[in-house]
Amino acid sequence: MKHFLFILGSILLALLASEPDAIAQVSQWDSTYRPDIYKPRVELFKSLPHSEKDVVFLGNSLTFWADWSELLGSSYYKNRGIPGDITYGVLDRLDEVIQGRPAKVFILIGINDLARGIPDSVIIRNYQRIIRQLKARTPSTRVYFQTLLPTNASFDKLRSHYHKEPRIRAINDSLRELGREEKIEIIDLYSHFVDEEGNLKKAYTWDGVHLTLTGYTTWVEVLRAGNYLPRVN
């Protein structure tokens, strides 16, 4: 027994010595985290009518705070944003979206994963799981992933979300590669929101993460310019 414990201790010490950052990350992030508003929002989503004409915007608070039906002029544009949500939360509530068989799904998720210390590789793996579930279970639905937006630390309000720019760029690069592998379109929001210093443009945000009306207007303009939005009444 002592010999076994000695060997186990040696292995753990070797892991800590070779990959201390990886060990620290594993101990710090929680895939089961869900914001308090998560359950009531999911219950609401399930109670609402669905249509195969629906265009679903799926994500976190960046999606939540836009009134998509008003911005885009149709009740078929559906908001499936939950403030504070992470990629694991989206995976857990994907059934509601899939059961509706929407025409299109626009996904923006991941900034809260970064804020909560979830590794980049896990975020990308969850992106792939989301894409594959949608493609397999509602093949008529067009799936679009949108690149993560930059942040701006000068607002000094959401400190856990700031200073992630290198990781945001790396995830966006990996997302583009994933899009090629999975044969879905990746919509580049990032380049339209970043300033010359690599930060979220101040005119587009009120806290360095969330968007102003100007920010949402720009988002819509990107989608319209790319002909991503269907004509729905």
Of 20-24, 169-173, 204-208, 211-215, give the lowest mean pLDDT range. Answer: 20-24
CA dist 37 and 107 (Å) reads 19
Quick check: 24 pLDDT over 50?
no
Instruction: Match 């990308």 to its residue by tokens.
Output: 124
Residues present in the chain in total: 233
Question: Which H, E and C letters describe the chain, residue by residue?
Answer: CHHHHHHHHHHHHHHHHHCHHHHHHHHHCCCCCCCCCHHHHHHHHHHCCCCCCCEEEEECHHHHCCCHHHHHCCCCEEEEECCCCCHHHHHHCHHHHHHHCCCEEEEECCHHHHHCCCCHHHHHHHHHHHHHHHHHHCCCCEEEEECCCCCCHHHCCCCCCCCCHHHHHHHHHHHHHHHHHHCCEEECCHHHHECCCCCECHHHECCCCCECHHHHHHHHHHHHHCCCCCCCC
Mean pLDDT in residue range 140-153: 98
% of the chain beyond a pLDDT of 90: 86
Mean pLDDT in residue range 77-88: 98
Domain boundaries, the chain: 34-225
Mean pLDDT in residue range 61-89: 97
Q: Which fold has domain 34-225?
A: Rossmann fold (3.40.50)
Quick check: 27 pLDDT over 60?
no
CA dist 217 and 165 (Å) reads 23
Quick check: 132 pLDDT over 80?
yes
Q: What is the pLDDT of residue 101?
A: 98
Quick check: 25 pLDDT over 50?
no
Tens digits of residue pLDDT in 102-128: 999 999 999 999 999 999 999 999 999
Of 53-57, 191-195, 229-233, give the lowest mean pLDDT range. Answer: 229-233
Average pLDDT of the chain to the nearest whole number: 91
Contact 104, 230 (CB under 8 A): yes
Q: What is the pLDDT of residue 233?
A: 61
Contact 56, 96 (CB under 8 A): no
Q: What is the pLDDT of residue 28?
A: 84
Mean pLDDT in residue range 154-160: 97
Quick check: 18 pLDDT over 80?
no
Contact 98, 80 (CB under 8 A): no
Dihedral sign from CA coordinates of 149, 219, 99, 43: positive
Quick check: 164 pLDDT over 70?
yes
Mean pLDDT in residue range 207-214: 98
Mean pLDDT in residue range 194-218: 98
Q: What is the pLDDT of residue 232?
A: 64
Mean pLDDT in residue range 64-90: 97
Quick check: 5 pLDDT over 50?
no
